[in-house]
C-alpha cells in the first residue's frame, strides 16, 4: 500500500512538473484563461519543473536502485506528460488554479497585467 | 529526392541491402580489430553488434537524404571491398 | 537544402510507415500482450489457477519426468520453479520429435492435465518476434526489418515534426479528425519516444546474432561459441556420451548451490544430455529483483553430482548487453513497472494505428477511389483492429473448445491457432469489402468479443471478477478480465461515437448556396 502511494506521489510530482512546463506556453495559458507570464517568470517555472523532474529521478533511484528507479522514472515521465496533454485538451480548467498560482512567479517590481490575446 | 519509380526502388535497395552489407562487413572488421588488439572475443562481438544497429540506422538515413545516390553506392562498394580485403588478410587467425 | 532534407525524411517516414506499419503493429501488439504472458497463461489454462506453495517441493518429485526424458533420449530436461507470477511447476524436455511441456501442482507435486493450449508463452510471445513464420527465419528477418524501420521512423518523425517543443503538450480533441489524429500521433510518438526507441533497440540487440552472423563468424571458429560465452553457459556444450548412466541426486546438488548463493533459490534446473555419461546439471539463480538478466549458473557433472563450476562475473560490456535484454524481456518482478510497460506498449500501438489513420485521412478526399488507397485501407483495418479481433477470437476459442476437442485430425491447441488466423484473414477481407463501415463494425466486434471472453471465463470456470479480486492467487485472472471489460467498454464507446459522426452530416460538406 505504501508502495502504491509512493508511486502515485512520483507520478503526481512529474505531472505537476510537466503542467508547469506546459503552462509557460501561450496556447495552454490561453486554454486555461489566465494571463501570460513574464519571460523571467516563465524561466523560473521551467527551472522549478526541471528541479522536480530531476528530484523524482533521484528519489526513484534512491528507493528502487539504479535499474528499476531509472525505468520507473522514464515510464512515469511519458505517462504523466501524456496526462498533462490530455487534460489540457479535454478539461483545461482543471489546471487553471496552477496557472493562476504561477502568476506569483512574476517578480514584484514589474507586475504588469498582460491581457489575454487572441 | 527523385520521385521516379526506378530512383525510389534503387534507394530502397541501397538502404536495406547496401547499408546492411556495409554494416555487416564493418562489424566483422571491427570485431577482428578489437580482438587483435587484445579485447576478448565475446566483448568484441557484444560491443560491435550493439553499435552496429546505430551505424545501420545512420546509413539508412544517409541513403534517403543524399542527393546523389550513385555517390553513396560507390562509397558503399568501396567500403565493403576494402573491409573484406582486410578481413581476408588478417582475419584468419581466430 | 534544409527543406529538401526535411522532405526526403518526410517521404521516408510516410512510406516506411505505410509499408511496414502492419508488421510493426503486430509486433508491438503481441509484445504488449507478452508483458503479461504468465497471467494470460493462467487465464487460458484454468487448471493452473492454484494457490502458491509455501515451500518449494523437493526436486526428486520430478524424477519420473526426468526418467521419461531419458527414455525418450531427450537432448535436455528442465524444471522451472514457481514464482509470484506463476504458481505451477513447469517441466520441459525436447525429444527427437517434439518439445514437451508438463505442468505440476506446486503443493502435491501431482501432474496437471494437458492444458491443450499454447497460451501466451507458446503463441503470443513467439509471434512477437517471429510472426510465427518459421521458414528460413523469415519471420525474424521481417521483424528485424520492421524494427530498423521503427528506429528510422522515430528519427525521421522528430526531424519532420515542425514544432516539437511548441506543440509538445498539444492535443486538440475539438478540431477536425485529421488534426486530432495528427495531434494524437505526435503525442504518442514524442511523449513515448524513449520507450519506442529503447524497446526497439533492445529487441534488435537481443536478436543481433541472427541479423549480423558475420561479426560472430569473424572471431569465432564455431559461431555457437559466442552464444554460450555471452550467456555464461560455457558448461553447456558437452560431447555426446554413452547412454545408461544415471543422474545424481538433484536435491543434494541444490542444497550445495543454496549454500554457495547464501540462501538464494534456484529458479531453473537444467540437465543436458540426461542419462548419458557426459550429462551435466545446472542451477540458474532467481534474478527477479533486478533489471539485468544476471545469469549466475552453477553446474555439476550429471552422473556424479561433483566437479562444480560457476559462471564468471560478466564484463561491463556484457553487463550492458544483459541490461538491455533485461529491459526488453522484463523477467524481473515489479508489478508497477509491468503495468507501465503494458500501458506504454498500448501507446506504441496507438502511435502506429493513428499513423495509418492519418495517412488515410489526408488522402481520403483526393484518392478515395484509387486502388492503392483501397489496399492501404484494407491493410490498415486488418492489421490494426483485425489483429485485436483475432487475438480476442483466440481467447474466446480457448474458452469455448472442449478439453479434448479434435477437428479434422487437429488437436485443441492447433484449433485455437486456426481460429486466430481465420478471424484475422476475415478482418482483411471485411476491410476490403466494406470500406465505409469497417471501423465502426470492427470496433463493435472488439467490444462484443472482449466482453464475451470475460463472460465465458465466468461461465466455464466460475471465476468472475468479484471472486477473483478477493483471492490473491486469482489476481492474474482478475487483471485479465478487468482489462477485457475496460477494453470492451472503450471499444463500444468508440463505436457509438463513430456511428454518431457518420450519421450527422457535417455542415462543412454542404455547399454554400444550399445552406438556406
Residue closest to C498 by CA, chosen among C429, C454, C447, C426: C447
Q: Which pLDDT score, from 0 to 100, does residue B94 have?
A: 52
High-pLDDT (> 90) share of chain A, %? 53
Count CB pairs under 8 A between chains A and C: 72
Work out the burial of residue B81: count CB atoms within 10 Å of its CB; fewer than 13 is exposed, 13-18 middle, 19 or more buried: exposed
Whether the CB-CB separation of C283 and C253 falls below 8 Å is answered with yes
CB contact under 8 A, C337 and A71: yes
With H, G, I as helix, E, B as strand and everything else as coil, classify residue C370: coil
Residue C231 corresponds to which cell in the numbers above? Answer: 550467456
Instruction: Report the residue count for chain C.
Output: 516
Nearest beta carbon to residue C169 from set A65, A71, A84 = A84
Q: Which pLDDT score, from 0 to 100, does residue C136 have?
A: 81
* Residue C324 with chain B: CB contacts under 8 Å: 50
Q: Which pLDDT score, from 0 to 100, does residue C7 have?
A: 87
Q: Which pLDDT score, from 0 to 100, does residue C391 have?
A: 95
Whether the CB-CB separation of A44 and A104 falls below 8 Å is answered with no
Positions in chain A short of pLDDT 70: 107-118
Q: Which pLDDT score, from 0 to 100, does residue C493 have?
A: 93
CB contact under 8 A, A79 and C340: yes
Q: Is C222 on the interface with B (CB under 8 A)?
A: no
Q: Which pLDDT score, from 0 to 100, does residue C513 have?
A: 37
Mean per-residue pLDDT, B79-91: 85
pLDDT along chain C (516 residues), means of 10: 82 90 94 93 90 84 88 89 88 86 88 86 92 86 94 93 84 84 92 94 93 88 85 78 82 89 88 87 87 85 81 87 92 91 95 92 84 87 92 94 79 90 92 85 94 93 85 88 94 90 52 36
C-alpha to C-alpha distance for C106 and C83, rounded to whole angstroms: 10
State yes or no: chains C and A have 3 or more CB pairs below 8 A. yes
Distance of CA C431 to the CA centre of its chain: 26
C-alpha to C-alpha distance for C148 and C140, rounded to whole angstroms: 12
Residue closest to C274 by CA, chosen among C72, C485, C8, C448: C72
Q: Is C316 on the interface with A (CB under 8 A)?
A: no
Q: Which pLDDT score, from 0 to 100, does residue C97 have?
A: 79
Neighbour tally for C252: CB within 10 Å: 13
Please name the residue ranges forming H helices in C105-238. 119, 125-130, 138-160, 177-191, 193-206, 208-211, 213-219, 224-230
DSSP-derived letter for residue A92 is G
With H, G, I as helix, E, B as strand and everything else as coil, classify residue C331: coil
C-alpha to C-alpha distance for C299 and C283, rounded to whole angstroms: 6
CB contact under 8 A, C151 and B53: yes
C-alpha to C-alpha distance for B65 and B60, rounded to whole angstroms: 9
C-alpha to C-alpha distance for C133 and C141, rounded to whole angstroms: 10
Please, which contacts does A70-76 make with residues 24 or more away whose CB atoms are closer than 8 Å? Answer: A71/C291, A71/C327, A71/C337, A72/A7, A72/A10, A72/C336, A72/C337, A72/C340, A73/A10, A74/C194, A74/C195, A74/C198, A75/C195, A75/C337, A75/C340, A75/C341, A75/C344, A76/A7, A76/A10, A76/A11, A76/A14, A76/C340
What are the strands of the beta sheet with C89-94, ordered from one edge?
C99-104, C89-94, C76-80, C266-272, C280-285, C297-301, C309-310
Q: Distance of CA C182 to CAs C145, C178, C237, C363, Å?
A: 25, 6, 53, 14
Residue C24 corresponds to which cell in the numbers above? Answer: 510493426
Q: Which pLDDT score, from 0 to 100, does residue A68 have?
A: 93
- Kindly provide the ipTM of the predicted complex, given to two decimals: 0.91
Domain ranges, ordered by start, for chain C: 2-43+130-205+334-505, 51-116+233-313
Question: Which chains does chain A touch, 3 or more C-beta pairs < 8 A?
Answer: C
* Residue C343 with chain A: CB contacts under 8 Å: 79
CB contact under 8 A, C336 and A21: no
Chain C residue nearest residue B30, CA to CA = C215
Residue closest to A67 by CA, chosen among C76, C325, B2, C252: C325
Work out the burial of residue C213: count CB atoms within 10 Å of its CB; fewer than 13 is exposed, 13-18 middle, 19 or more buried: middle
Residue closest to C69 by CA, chosen among C44, C102, C42: C102
Q: What is the pLDDT of residues B20-51, one digit of tens each?
A: 999 999 999 999 999 888 888 899 999 999 99
Indicate the angle between helix axes C193-206 and B41-65, nearest 10 degrees.
130
Residue closest to C147 by CA, chosen among C348, C357, C343: C348
Nearest beta carbon to residue C321 from set B50, B52, B65 = B50
Q: Which pLDDT score, from 0 to 100, does residue C214 have?
A: 86
Q: Is B14 on the interface with C (CB under 8 A)?
A: no
* Residue B53 with chain C: CB contacts under 8 Å: 148, 151, 201, 204-205, 208
Neighbour tally for C210: CB within 10 Å: 14
CB contact under 8 A, C148 and B53: yes
Of chain B residues 28-67, which have a CB less than 8 A from chain C? 28-32, 35, 40-50, 52-53, 56-57, 60-61, 64-65, 67
Nearest beta carbon to residue C337 from set A25, A72, A85 = A72
Question: Which chains does chain B touch, 3 or more C-beta pairs < 8 A?
Answer: C
Whether the CB-CB separation of C382 and C441 falls below 8 Å is answered with no
Amino acid at each position: 500500500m505504501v508502495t502504491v502511494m509512493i508511486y502515485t506521489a512520483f507520478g503526481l510530482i512529474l505531472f505537476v512538473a510537466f503542467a508547469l512546463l506546459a503552462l509557460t506556453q501561450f496556447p495552454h495559458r490561453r486554454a486555461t484563461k489566465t494571463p501570460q507570464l513574464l519571460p523571467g517568470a516563465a524561466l523560473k517555472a521551467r527551472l522549478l519543473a526541471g528541479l522536480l523532474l530531476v528530484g523524482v529521478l533521484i528519489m526513484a533511484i534512491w528507493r528502487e536502485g539504479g535499474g528499476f528507479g531509472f525505468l520507473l522514472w522514464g515510464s512515469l515521465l511519458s505517462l504523466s506528460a501524456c496526462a498533462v496533454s490530455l487534460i489540457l485538451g479535454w478539461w483545461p480548467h482543471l489546471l487553471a488554479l496552477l496557472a493562476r498560482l504561477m502568476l506569483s512567479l512574476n517578480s514584484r517590481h514589474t507586475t504588469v497585467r498582460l491581457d489575454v490575446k487572441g | 529526392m527523385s520521385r521516379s519509380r526506378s530512383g525510389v526502388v534503387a534507394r530502397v535497395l541501397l538502404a536495406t541491402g547496401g547499408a546492411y552489407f556495409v554494416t555487416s562487413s564493418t562489424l566483422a572488421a571491427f570485431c577482428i580489430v578489437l580482438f587483435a588488439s587484445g579485447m576478448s572475443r565475446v566483448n568484441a562481438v557484444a560491443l560491435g553488434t550493439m553499435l552496429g544497429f546505430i551505424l545501420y540506422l545512420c546509413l539508412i538515413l544517409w541513403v534517403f537524404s543524399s542527393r546523389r545516390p550513385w555517390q553513396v553506392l560507390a562509397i558503399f562498394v568501396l567500403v565493403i571491398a576494402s573491409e573484406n580485403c582486410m578481413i581476408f588478410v588478417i582475419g584468419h587467425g581466430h | 537544402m534544409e527543406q529538401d532534407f526535411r522532405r526526403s525524411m518526410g517521404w521516408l517516414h510516410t512510406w516506411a510507415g505505410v509499408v511496414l506499419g502492419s508488421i510493426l503493429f503486430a509486433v508491438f501488439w503481441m509484445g504488449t500482450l507478452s508483458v503479461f504472458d504468465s497471467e494470460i497463461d493462467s487465464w487460458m489454462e484454468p487448471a493452473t489457477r492454484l494457490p502458491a506453495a509455501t515451500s518449494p517441493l523437493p526436486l526428486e518429485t520430478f524424477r519420473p519426468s526426468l526418467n521419461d526424458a531419458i527414455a525418450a533420449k531427450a537432448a535436455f530436461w528442465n524444471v522451472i520453479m514457481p514464482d509470484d507470477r506463476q504458481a505451477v511447476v513447469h517441466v520441459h524436455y525436447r525429444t527427437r520429435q517434439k518439445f514437451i511441456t508438463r505442468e505440476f501442482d506446486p503443493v502435491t507435486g501431482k501432474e496437471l492435465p494437458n492444458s491443450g493450449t499454447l497460451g501466451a508463452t507458446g503463441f503470443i510471445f513467439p509471434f512477437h518476434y517471429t510472426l510465427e513464420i518459421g521458414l528460413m527465419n523469415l519471420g525474424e528477418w521481417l521483424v528485424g526489418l520492421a524494427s530498423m524501420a521503427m528506429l528510422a521512423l522515430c528519427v525521421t518523425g522528430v526531424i519532420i515534426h515542425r514544432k516539437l517543443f511548441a506543440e509538445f503538450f498539444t492535443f486538440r480533441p475539438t478540431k477536425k479528425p485529421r488534426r486530432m489524429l495528427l495531434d494524437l500521433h505526435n503525442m504518442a510518438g514524442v511523449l513515448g519516444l524513449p520507450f519506442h526507441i529503447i524497446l526497439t533497440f533492445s529487441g534488435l540487440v537481443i536478436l543481433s546474432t541472427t541479423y549480423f552472423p558475420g561479426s560472430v563468424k569473424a572471431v569465432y571458429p564455431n559461431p555457437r561459441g559466442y552464444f554460450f560465452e555471452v550467456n555464461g553457459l560455457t558448461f553447456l556444450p558437452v560431447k555426446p556420451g554413452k547412454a545408461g548412466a544415471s543422474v545424481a541426486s538433484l536435491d543434494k546438488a541444490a542444497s550445495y548451490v543454496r549454500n554457495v548463493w547464501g540462501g538464494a533459490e534456484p529458479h531453473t534446473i537444467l540437465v543436458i544430455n540426461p542419462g548419458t555419461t557426459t550429462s551435466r546439471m545446472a542451477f540458474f539463480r532467481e534474478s527477479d529483483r533486478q533489471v539485468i538478466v544476471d545469469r549466475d549458473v552453477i553446474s555439476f557433472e550429471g552422473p556424479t553430482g561433483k566437479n562444480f563450476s560457476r559462471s564468471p562475473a560478466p564484463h561491463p560490456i556484457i553487463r550492458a548487453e544483459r541490461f538491455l535484454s533485461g529491459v526488453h524481456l522484463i523477467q524481473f518482478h515489479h508489478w508497477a513497472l509491468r503495468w507501465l510497460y503494458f500501458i506504454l506498449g498500448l501507446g506504441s500501438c496507438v502511435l502506429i494505428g493513428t499513423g495509418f489513420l492519418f495517412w488515410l485521412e489526408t488522402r481520403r478526399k483526393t484518392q478515395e477511389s484509387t486502388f492503392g488507397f483501397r489496399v492501404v485501407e484494407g491493410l490498415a483495418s486488418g492489421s490494426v483492429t483485425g489483429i485485436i479481433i483475432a487475438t480476442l477470437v483466440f481467447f474466446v476459442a480457448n474458452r469455448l473448445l472442449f478439453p479434448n476437442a479434435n477437428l479434422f485430425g487437429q488437436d485443441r491447441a492447433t484449433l485455437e491457432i486456426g481460429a486466430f488466423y481465420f478471424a484475422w484473414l476475415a478482418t482483411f477481407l471485411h476491410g476490403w469489402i466494406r470500406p465505409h463501415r469497417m471501423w465502426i463494425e470492427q470496433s463493435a466486434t472488439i467490444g462484443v468479443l472482449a466482453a464475451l471472453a470475460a463472460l465465458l471465463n465466468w461461465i466455464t470456470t466460475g471465476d468472475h471478477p468479484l471472486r477473483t479480486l478477493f483471492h490473491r492467487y486469482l489476481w492474474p485472472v482478475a487483471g485479465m478480465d478487468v482489462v477485457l471489460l475496460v477494453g470492451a467498454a472503450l471499444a463500444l464507446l468508440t463505436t457509438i461515437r463513430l456511428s454518431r459522426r457518420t450519421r450527422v452530416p457535417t455542415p462543412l460538406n454542404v455547399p454554400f448556396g444550399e445552406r438556406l
